[in-house]
Amino acid sequence: MLKPDAIREIITRANPYLRRDPDKLQVFLDAGRVVSRGAASLSYEYQYTLNVIVQDYPNHADQIVLPMLAYLRTQQPELFENQERSNNLIRFDAEILNQDTIDLSLQVDLTERVIVSEVDGRLKAAHVGEPVHPDFPLEGVSIELVDKSSGESLGIFSVPAWAPKF
């Protein structure tokens, strides 16, 4: 599974506390299952709850949640586009240890698709990412507005690539 490592990396990169002490960030996969339908191939999907735990954390939870949301927005977009799922997007528990630190646990339900194909008589598994979301281009896009009846150009505007920086 690839998403847990990617989430760990983006949270660590965005957080000076965790860059100094990466062992304070732990990642677990809970309630995992493999789902496969009776299709011609043996392709399947991992479904699991990712549990991100930060120990002795002295800062605001926003510094953990925001990078996680940015990753999920492109890598698990259906969580944002369904009201029921978005209402439970990231669940959390926190233990207040003292005036300055907490233990924080964040849980999010993830999926990862694996496409199985036959290559030279052998089965090969390939992890595939999410398709590019049309609202979040990976590179800048120029859009020209044209009057439908006259064909006149009403202007050109650019949509920059969606790449949040931490």
Q: What is the pLDDT of residues 98-152, one digit of tens each?
A: 999 999 999 999 999 999 999 999 999 999 988 777 666 667 667 676 778 888 8
Does the structure show a pLDDT above 90 at 160? no
Domain 3-131 has CATH 3.40.30: no
Query: Encoding tokens for residue 64?
Result: 């953990």
**Strand stretches in the chain, DSSP E:** 25-35, 44-57, 91-96, 102-119, 122-128, 141-146, 153-159
Local confidence band at 166 (pLDDT 50, 70, 90 cut-offs)? low
* pLDDT tens, residue by residue, 63-96: 899 889 988 888 888 888 888 888 999 999 999 9
* Average pLDDT value for the chain: 88
Ranges of each domain in the chain: 3-131, 133-166
Q: What pLDDT sits at residue 35?
A: 96
| pTM for this model (two decimals) | 0.78
Q: What pLDDT sits at residue 157?
A: 61
